[in-house]
Amino acid sequence: MFDTAFSSNDLMFLLKGAWLTIQLTVVAVAIGTVLGVVFGWARESLPGWVNVPIGAVLDVLRSVPLLIQLVLVNSGKSILGLSWSPFVVGAVVLGLYTAAYCTEIVRGGILAVPATTRRAARSLGMTYWQDLTSIVAPIALRVSLPGWIGLTLGVMKDTALVMWIGIAELLRSSQIVITRIQEPLLVLAIAGLIYFVISFPVSRLGAFLERRWADDSLKADQ
């Protein structure tokens, strides 16, 4: 009745692809978050002549398709004679792409801290650095976390594009299996399920934190 050529080896092959997807996501989000925090702070705190060019570059990263960016960096590295592996190229491009979005999220978080709160911290004798780490960071973190979770999920899905520069991540692996066993619907359904299994818990966690922290801020108001 239900007959398939899909073997446990194929499943292992897909899971190996999924592992690469997860690795790439973690590296890209790590790069993107560090840069995003630095740029987000810079966009809010540094004078216009630093912050406008940074903003312009990040805007370009957000307005050009990721696929084009991947091809550009991939050919750019050959032009410059760098011997980066496709994984490094993918991680760099995705990392910068993540940074472009993370910057706006961090910036929104910093902007959400009332100026009066910061001035109060400074009047209490805190240094600029103390104000930033003990007052601004905790408040900004709460505001930005839901957006950051959404971004992480987005990056996880965008890693699918690195197949174009020759990395066999989850989607590319499933295409290889499809070519072999000629059962596209089944294989794609399994790949889709794996994507779903990766992202659904994270998105639930995001929703949970958002709800919980929203309640918390209500309590603080009362």
Partner 1 sequence: MNYTFHWNQALRRLPEMLDGALVTLQVASLAMLIGIVIAVFLAYGRLSDNRTARAVATGWVEIARNTPALFQIYFFYFGLGSFGLRLDPFSALLAGIAFNNAGYLAETFRGGLQAIPPSQTRAARSLGLSALQTSVHVVLPQMFRIVFYPMTNQMVWSILMSSLGVIVGMTSDLTGVTQELNARTFRTFEFFALAAVLYYAMAKLTILAARLIGWRLFRT
| Burial of 115 per CB tally in 10 Å (0-12, 13-18, 19+) | exposed
- List 89, 171, 177, 190, residue binding partner 1 (CB under 8 A): 171
The answer to whether residues 58 and 128 touch, using CB atoms and an 8 Å cutoff, is no
Which string of x and - marks every residue 114-153 that binds partner 1 (by CB under 8 A)? ---------------------------------------x
How far, in Å, CA of 40 to CA of 91, rounded?
A: 20
Q: Is 102 in the site for partner 1 (CB under 8 A)?
A: no
Q: Which CB atom, from 139 or from 176, has the smaller least distance to partner 1?
A: 176
E strand or H helix that includes residue 130: helix 128-130
How far, in Å, CA of 31 to CA of 87, rounded?
A: 14
Q: Is 23 in the site for partner 1 (CB under 8 A)?
A: no
Q: Is 199 in the site for partner 1 (CB under 8 A)?
A: yes
State in angstroms the smallest separation of the CB of 136 from partner 1: 27
How far, in Å, CA of 51 to CA of 53, rounded?
A: 6
Q: Which residues bind partner 1 (CB under 8 A)?
A: 60, 63-69, 71-72, 75-76, 79-81, 153, 157-161, 163-164, 171, 174-175, 178, 183-186, 188-189, 191-192, 195-196, 199-200, 203
